[in-house]
């Protein structure tokens, strides 16, 4: 018996990176996990196998986070196959680099559709379906608190939006014992932000710890917020940034 035994979780964007690590970590602690992905069907199948290797049920659901109807369908499908919902991890997101003078309106719309509207719609669809004492966990970014270089205005804006969304959700869901929190990771070594990528050295120069974090280190925080030890923690931001804000 582990702390999440029997819990039912949905992770958006669970086929790779932080979302995949969170899906597997939740399963390691006893949860059955459904997750969405956009296009990486092979990666998604691997994550299902990793969930099942822990003796839990895993379900991959194709759903573009930029498509509100697809997200709502995915939440309904997840509740159906899992048999309920205790934990929503709003992880799907896209990076965005570019000076404000260079960002096309189509790029602005695409980033906001995934990073903000998609998160809102998933929370909206999950709100009435989450069990009493359930959890919402949103993956924001340290860029919501501190922007260190030019070219991050759009991304920082999209992640700062989650801070307000989260506080509102905490107020709306608290009467049912449901908590809502944002995790704000610093640089994490994934395909979105590889530790040997073109922006890596600049990011490392702002850290107290001299390395990128791993997806598993963020997943550990997801497990903590999903577990019984975090029952009185709501409406706040949990920063896991290697000292980016220090
Ligand atoms: P990755 O690019 O490694 O993985 C992104 C995941 O999200 C994939 O599973 C991908 O699915 C899914 N996804 C992307 N777009 C969509 C979409 N439109 N609809 C459905 N699923 C989608 O990213 P990370 O793991 O690095 O990032 C995860 C979250 O963490 C994001 O919200 C990101 O902003 C945030 N974050 C990341 C940091 C970092 O340094 N890596 C730092 C701070 C925050 P598919 O495989 O099908 O493409």
Flag whether 177 is in a domain.
yes
pTM (whole model) above 0.90: yes
How many domains does the chain divide into? 1
Long-range pairs, 100-106, Cβ under 8 A, ≥24: 100/153, 100/154, 103/153, 103/154
The residue nearest atom 33 of ligand 1, judged by CA position, is 93
The residue range of the domain holding 68 is 8-240
The rounded distance, in Å, linking the Cα atoms of 174 and 190 is 33
Flag whether 2 is in a domain.
no
Ligand 1: centre distance to CA 91 (Å):
7
* Ligand 1 atom closest to residue 185's alpha carbon, by position in its atom list: 43
Flag whether 50 is in a domain.
yes
Mean pLDDT of the chain: 97
pLDDT > 90: percent of the chain: 99
* Whether residue 232 lies in the annotated active site: no
pLDDT at residue 127 is higher than 90: yes
Flag whether 53 is in a domain.
yes
Q: Which tokens in the block code for residue 136?
A: 């919402």
Flag whether 1 is in a domain.
no
pLDDT tens figures, 137-148: 999 999 999 999
Q: Which residues does a 6 A CB cutoff place in the pocket of ligand 1?
A: 13-19, 36-40, 43, 64-66, 91-94, 114, 139, 141, 185, 187-188, 190-193
- At residue 1, the pLDDT reads 79
Flag whether 246 is in a domain.
no
Flag whether 30 is in a domain.
yes
- Of 155, 199, 224, 232, the active-site residue reads 155
The rounded distance, in Å, linking the Cα atoms of 95 and 144 is 13
User: What mean pLDDT comes out for the span 87-100?
Assistant: 97
- At residue 160, the pLDDT reads 98
pLDDT tens figures, 37-87: 999 999 999 999 999 999 999 999 999 999 999 999 999 999 999 999 999
Flag whether 3 is in a domain.
no
């Amino acid at each position: 018996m582990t702390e999440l035994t029997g819990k039912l979780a949905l992770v958006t964007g669970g086929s790779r990176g932080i979302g995949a690590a969170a899906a597997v970590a939740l399963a390691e602690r006893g949860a059955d996990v459904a997750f969405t992905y956009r296009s990486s069907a092979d990666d998604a199948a691997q994550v299902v196998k990793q969930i099942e290797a822990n003796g839990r049920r895993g379900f991959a659901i194709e759903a573009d986070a930029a498509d509100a109807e697809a997200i709502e369908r995915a939440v309904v499908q997840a509740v159906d196959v899992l048999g309920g919902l205790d934990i929503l991890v709003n992880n799907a997101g896209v990076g965005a680099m570019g000076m404000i003078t260079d960002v096309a309106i189509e790029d602005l719309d695409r980033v906001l559709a995934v990073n903000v509207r998609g998160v809102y719609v998933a929370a909206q669809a999950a709100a009435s379906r989450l069990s009493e004492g359930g959890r919402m966990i949103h993956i924001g970014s340290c860029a919501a608190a501190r922007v260190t270089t030019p070219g991050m205005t759009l991304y920082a804006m999209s992640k700062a939006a989650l801070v307000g969304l989260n506080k509102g959700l905490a107020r709306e869901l608290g009467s049912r014992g449901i908590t809502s929190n944002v995790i704000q990771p610093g640089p994490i070594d994934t395909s979105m932000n590889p530790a040997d990528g073109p922006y890596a050295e600049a990011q490392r120069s702002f850290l107290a710890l001299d390395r990128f974090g791993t997806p598993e280190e963020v997943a550990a925080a997801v497990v903590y917020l999903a577990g019984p030890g975090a029952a009185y923690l709501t409406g706040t931001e949990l920063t896991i940034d290697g000292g980016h804000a220090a």
